[in-house]
Structure 1
Amino acid sequence: MGERTKKQKLILGIQHTLAMFGATVLVPALTGLNTSITLFCAGLGTLLFHWVTKKKVPVFLGSSFAFMAGIMAIIGDSRMGDPDFMEKLASVKGALIIAGLVYVLFAGLIKIFGYEKVNKLLPPIVTGPIIIVIGLRLSGTAINSAFYYNGEFSLKSVLVTVVILTVVICVSIFAKGIFNLMPILFAIIAGYLVCLPLGFCDFTAVREAHFLSFMDKDIVAQLLCIPQFKLDAILAIAPIALVTMIEHVGDITTNGAVVGKNFMVDPGVHRTILGDGLATALAGLLGGPANTTYGENTGVLAVTKVYDPSVIRIAAVFAMILGIFGKFGGFITSIPSPVTGGISIVLYGMISAVGVRILINSRLNFGNSRNLLVAAIILVLGIGCDSIPVYGAVTISGLALAAVVGIILAFILPEGDDSVLN
């Protein structure tokens, strides 16, 4: 549709932030970290990522779920106001900074030894099923939010979900011009309006929020908390970076597949990993959770077909504004879970569909036993395993386990002459 106006980009950026919001604020809600700081770190980290990657990769960085177990192992049930919370927060800050530096180290190694080594380890028979797993692993969360309310099945939630899916489908297929690019925004608005008379909307967060979040003395105290580099916290949190880097490569591969560009080569996977690592270290310094590339981001790209990185940067600025202005953040927090769940059904499904597209475009022959076995094992391990304990509080996710096993199998098993259809 040609060059978009500033107003159009602003609307698209706001839409992108709304799609990222639910998952981004869930991590601090579960770990005891601050939501406003988290949103600010997500936006600032995304801008840092774009600067490192030459403003070429349309990626939004949000809170990483992979680090939750490690963070919660240190913080436990302690919350702001408890006598030991600030000391535990300082340990988490230090450990997240080290985790970010692990990313930086590996980015340097990839730069030295070359992208080809990474590419050889990630053929389509590995990346396709991994991307399918990324979407399907998230699907349970989407269904729970879309069909259940306060842990119980709710016909009202189902109604909201049906409205959202209907709006997304109708806008995506029948709308024209700029409106065709905003199915998620229209669906969120429609879902919110339906939720109002159904009693799903809670405005407590809006009433209690400070107009400026950083006027809150508790938030200022967390920002100014000096990181401490304690070995137990570092061992619980930093090694998780080795796992999330595999997920990062999968997300960047998926992102490139949607956009139609090879971001592993240009600007280079070493830059994307470096950007992710620096954003995580920055979040650790300020008191937010680790940042990571987001599957929701890829889902939005697939639905809207808006691949302009400047739109993502607008979304990042808007996330920072939400973090600074407490009333805005409180309003976004009031978006009911059936709304975010209904949107997530579309976004997560799109991710898995992209994985299927990679397999189809690669013309892989599944009559070949090697291809069939690699895909089968990745799918079962990735979907069936939640997490595997490694050391103490450190766990490896089913997705990372599937990726590691798939990479090894694809590397050691002979391809055969019929691995790719002619």
Structure 2
Amino acid sequence: MSQTPQDPTWRQILAGAQMLFVAFGALVLMPLITGMDPNVALFTAGLGTLLFQLVTRRQVPVFLASSFAFIAPIIAAKGEYGLPAVLGGVMAAGLVYVLLGAAVRVKGAGFIDRLLPPVVIAPVIISIGLALSPVAVNMAMGKAGDGSAQLIPYETAMLISMPALLTTLLVAVLGKGLFRLVPILAGVAVGYGLSFVFGVVDTTGIRAAAWISMPAFVAPEFNLGAILFMVPVALAPAIEHIGGVVAIGGVTGRNYIKEPGLHRTLLGDGLATSAAGLFGGPPNTTYAEVTGAVMLTKNYNPKIMTWAAVFAIALAFIGKFGAGLQSIPVPVMGGILCLLFGSIAVVGLSTLIRHQVDLSEARNLIIVSVTLVFGIGGMVFGAGEFALSGISLCAVAALVLNLLLPGGGTWGAAARQLES
């Protein structure tokens, strides 16, 4: 049933709750992996969505929440500089979107595609997925993400993680209607249930938590080293953002690149990400799952995202809810992440294939090869606060190689489509 601005408020509220349900699994999984507070992530997802709607004049029916692209740099920077410094880097990453939005406003929408063609973005996305694969495997086997400690016995962990993964796969492939859009939630439910059976769920935190409590907000600090970890990674989600805006436009039959304009959507995403860093949450991005739900339900009214944001903010203040999320054992998340992190890499491969990047050309081969090795191998340039490594370094390397190597062109068809 199509939804219009004249639909009754109660229907908009139900639709908003449904959209949050679809986004929920990925939304809370990202902060749980990185050691951030899921209640804060809920709050900043809701706040970010409201800021996005304000900037875009509530014209685009999208929901913004935790971005998986930032997992690797957040884990690395958090271990070296601490969470407050990471949050300062998140705020700086949001400013990258703001600057890109300003450049689009001046130079046109095709500017980003000339600066960041598929041969630059695709290997960065592949690197993000593959660099994270050891984290998923370690967690699936009951270890800490970095493999430093065995948190749950291996045999027990595998009996939890593999059924959680299998459930996620089956729901994604065989699920019908809205159920097909929540494979992560289904996997978490099965894994959590098995964790109770095997007695590996610690409910102490749930019992101790208050029903209503303030989310554990954390103030940012600004550290150049942490900022260098975070800022370059924003390049890949910027392209993901454009894809999301084009996708939702295809669903609703509207050209959001023109109205409200790509410069406004980038600005909205940037402000949402910087606001998340200000309060202690992860960077935000548009959620493809919610776009799928919009397509399935034909709920095109952006007001439903307002209600989804309100529900997210309300849940953020339920202390026992957040404690319950934090009690999810690592094998549950690890099993599901074996699919999700691999899916990120596949998105990068799909980008190369879809845009027919010719890897027999020396220029393209060099950019992709160096980017993958730097990103997955953990190359480090510099020392101390002036060091670039991993995903951050590979993003910079891809961008610089594309600008310096002769023979670069524009992302022809895509650039012309955005400018038309």
**TM bin (shorter chain):** 0.7 to 0.9
8 A Cα contact 1:322 1:328, kept in partner: yes
Counterpart secondary structure, 2:388: strand
Deviation at 1:168, TM superposition (A): 2.2
Q: Deviations over 1:306-339 (max 9, x none)?
A: 6978687665444323321111111122222211
Report the equivalent of 2:416: none
Distance 1:258 1:276, change over 3 A: closer
Name the SS of the counterpart of 1:363 in structure 2: coil
Alignment of 1:391-406 (within 5 A): 392-393=384-385, 395-406=387-398
Instruction: Give distance in 2, aligned partners of 1:397 and 1:96.
Output: 17
Q: Write out per-residue CA displacement over residues 228-263 of structure 1, whole angstroms, 9 at most, x where no aligned residue.
A: xx8xx3545556564243233243256468779697
Partner-residue secondary structure (3-state), 1:364: coil
Letter paired with 1:340: M
Q: Distance in 2 between matches of 1:125 and 1:272?
A: 24
| Cross-structure match for 2:46 | 43
Structure 1 residue 155: Cα displacement: 1.9
TM-score of the two chains, using structure 2 as the length reference:
0.74
Contact map agreement 2:63 2:290 (CA 8 A) in 1? no
The secondary structure found in structure 1 opposite 2:240 is helix
Spell out the pairing of 1:280-359 with structure 2 (5 A cutoff): 280-285=273-278, 287-289=279-281, 291-293=283-285, 297=287, 316-359=309-352
Partner of 1:114: 108
Instruction: Return 303-312 or 143-152, whichever deviates more.
Output: 303-312
Q: Which residue of 2 aligns with 1:196?
A: 196
Q: Residue by residue, what CA displacement relative to the aligned partner does 1:176-225 show, whole Å, maximum 9, x if unpaired?
A: 333333322222211111111112211122112121112x9xx5xx68x8
Distance 1:240 1:181, change over 3 A: closer
C-alpha displacement of 1:3 = 7.2
- When residues 279 and 389 of structure 1 are mapped into structure 2, their CA distance, relative to the original with a 3 A threshold, is farther
Separation in structure 1 between the aligned mates of residue 394 and residue 325 of structure 2, nearest angstrom: 35
Equivalences, count: 386
Verify the 8 A CA contact 2:24 2:185 in the aligned structure 1: no
Match of 2:27 in 1: 20
Which residue of structure 1 aligns with residue 133 of structure 2? 139
Measured in 1, the distance between the counterparts of 2:162 and 2:135 equals 17
Tell me how far apart the structure 2 counterparts of residues 298 and 15 of structure 1 sit (CA, whole Å). Answer: 10
Whole-angstrom CA distance in 2 between matches of 1:251 and 1:353: 14
Amino acid at match of 1:370: R
> Which of the residues 34, 55, 66 maps onto 1:62?
66
Deviation of the 1:386 alpha carbon: 6.1
One of 369, 380, 391 as aligned partner of 2:373:
380
Return the alpha-carbon distance in structure 1 between the equivalents of residues 230 and 180 of structure 2: 38
Partner of 1:148, secondary structure, is coil
CA contact (8 A) 2:178 2:296 kept: no
Post-superposition offset of 1:131 = 2.0
Equivalent residue for 1:370, pick from 359, 363, 374: 363
1:124 aligns with 2:127: no
Change (3 A) 1:235 1:167: closer
Alignment partners' CA distance in 2, 1:161 and 1:278: 36
RMSD after superposition: 4.1
CA distance in 1, matches of 2:88, 2:125: 32
C-alpha contact 1:254 1:298 (8 A) present in aligned 2: no
Q: 1:283 to 1:260 in 2, by over 3 A?
A: closer
Verify the 8 A CA contact 2:229 2:389 in the aligned structure 1: no
Worse overlay, 311-320 or 39-48? 311-320
Matches within 5 A, 1:254-265: 255=244
